Amino acid sequence: MVKAIIAPSLLAGDFAKIGCDCQRMFDCGSDWVHIDVMDGHFVPNITLGPPIISALREAVPRGGKDGKSASFFDCHMMVSNPEQWVPEVARAGGDQYTFHFEATEDPLALVKLIKANGMRAACAIKPGTSVDVLFPLAEYLDMALVMTVEPGFGGQSFMPEMMPKVKTLREKFPHMSIQVDGGLGKETIPQAAEAGANVIVAGTAVFKAQDPAQMIAFLRDTVTTSLQEKGLLTE
Tens of pLDDT, residue by residue over 195-206, are: 999 999 999 999
Domain-embedded: residue 153 = yes
**Binding-site entries for substrate:** 9, 76, 152-155, 183, 203-204
Quick check: 155 pLDDT over 70?
no
Nearby residues of 141 by Cβ (< 8 Å), 6 or more positions away = 111, 121, 122, 123, 134, 176
Domain-embedded: residue 213 = yes
- The pTM of this model reads 0.95
Domain-embedded: residue 235 = no
Domain-embedded: residue 145 = yes
pLDDT (tens digit per residue) in 105-127: 999 999 999 999 999 999 999 99
Supply the range of the domain harboring residue 177.
5-229
pLDDT (tens digit per residue) in 4-41: 999 999 999 999 999 999 999 999 999 999 999 999 88
**Binding-site entries:** 9, 34, 36, 76, 152-155, 181, 183, 203-204
Domain-embedded: residue 234 = no
Number of domains present in the structure of the chain: 1
CATH number at residue 21: 3.20.20.70
> What percentage of residues in the chain have a pLDDT greater than 70?
98
Catalytic residues: 36, 181
